[in-house]
Amino acid sequence: MTWRRSVAALAVCGAAALSGCASRATHQAAAHLDTIRFGVITSGGGAELPEALIRTGIAAKYGLRIQIVPYAAPGQQYTLVRGGGADIVPGNVLDLQRQRLAGLQVHAIASFQRFSSPIVVRAGSPLTSFAQLAGRTVGQFGPATIDWLTIRAAGKFATGLDLGTTRLTQAPPALLTSLLERGQVDAAMQFASVAAQPLAAGRERQLTTVPALLRSAGLDPDALDVVWDLTDRWQAMNPGALPRLQAAMNEAYQRLKSGDPSLWAPLTAMAGIHDPAAAKAYVAEEISNIDPSYTRALLAPTQRLIRAIIAVAGEPAVGFTVLPASDFLFPPDGASG
């Protein structure tokens, strides 16, 4: 029974039996919420959407019960899905198609975040431009990630430098911050959410960003990046629930983008950020990057980006040549998303 049907049940109750009927209706509504398990990295901003769905009551409003299933590092979400441990996870569009080609039955249903990753250097670094990274040691968190492949392609087209030809050090995002501050790498690509605190504290400086490189290369920085991948199994078990899920996610994102302090205060604490100035910078960065446009019109610029990546890094680095429209479930025309 949905929330609306529960309200209807209340409306037909006699005044004398209102209390008992309300109790029954509430119990029936709770018993019929559709459970959906969000697999997320809870310390890296990934839990912001499911937490907002829970804390604001939006999930229950749309007949959903949210469970948060944590994992530790990018890539583990697909192991979680294959093992039946999660119903929806974030992943970039390259991994979406790679996983589908490997037999994983998932579809993208909404955007998670736009291209935003910066390349950062120590505050006192003499480096002032992307081109000066030639011959330097650069940290990155995965040679097959869309961020790194995009940096390679956009950097090559914009400046002539393919960072894949420099000295590279691979490490998780949190460790890259330590390596940079100890001088073990000269620069590092980084998650914007992870870079927000050291940038605000003045320990690091932003050299450039993925969107800036894309614009310089004549590519669209609004191309699809990280999306929410939903299992086909969840859709089959909850027929007709997808529009409710997409509407709930959109409403929760609007609440997050409003900057509501009562919502963001616990989220910044979850991210391990307690300094007020760093928290303010983190929230501003997150609001600017979450929930970008998710429309069919973005498939063409995304495909152009993939062709540019293949031209620089080669087809094996991507794993396919065409990103099919069938990977994506877009809201109806005119709907939010």
Q: CA-to-CA distance for 276 and 262, rounded, in angstroms?
A: 14
Mean pLDDT of 191-212: 91
Amino acid at 20: G
- Going by C-beta distance under 8 Å and a sequence separation of 6 or more, which residues neighbour residue 163? 133, 138, 148, 151, 152, 155
Token code pair at residue 99: 């996983």
Which is nearest to 271 in space by CA: 158, 192, 178, 180?
192
DSSP 72-131: SSTTHHHHHHHTT--SEEEEEHHHHHHHHHTT--EEEEEEEE-S-PEEEEETT-S--SGG
Residue 78 half-sphere exposure, CB side, CA atoms within 13 Å?
Answer: 17
Mean pLDDT value of segment 45-56: 94
**For residue 164, pLDDT beyond 50:** yes
Instruction: Identify whether the C-beta of residue 93 lies closer than 8 Å to the C-beta of residue 324.
Output: no
Tens digit of pLDDT for each residue in 227-236? 999 999 999 9
Q: Average pLDDT, stretch 110-137?
A: 96
Beta bridge partners of 64: 34
Domains, the chain, ordered by start: 33-114+225-296 (3.40.190.10), 118-216 (3.40.190.10)
Q: What is the mean pLDDT of the chain?
A: 88
Q: Is 98 left (phi over 0), alpha (psi -120 to 50) or beta?
A: alpha
Residue 31 has pLDDT above 90, yes or no: no
How much is the pLDDT for 186?
97
Residue 181 corresponds to which amino acid?
A: E
Among the ranges given (31-35, 146-150, 194-198), the one the predictor scored with the smallest mean pLDDT? 31-35
What distance in Å separates the CA atoms of residue 217 and residue 159, rounded to the nearest whole number?
A: 8
pLDDT for 333:
59
| Token pair recorded at residue 62 | 């749309």
Q: Which residue has the tokens 């431009």?
A: 129
Which pairing describes strands 34-40 and 64-70: parallel, antiparallel, or unpaired? Answer: parallel
Whether 267 shows a pLDDT value over 60: the answer reads yes
Q: DSSP letters along 251-311, please?
A: HHHHHHHTT-HHHHHHHHHHTT--SHHHHHHHHHHHHHHBS----GGGHHHHHHHHHHHHH
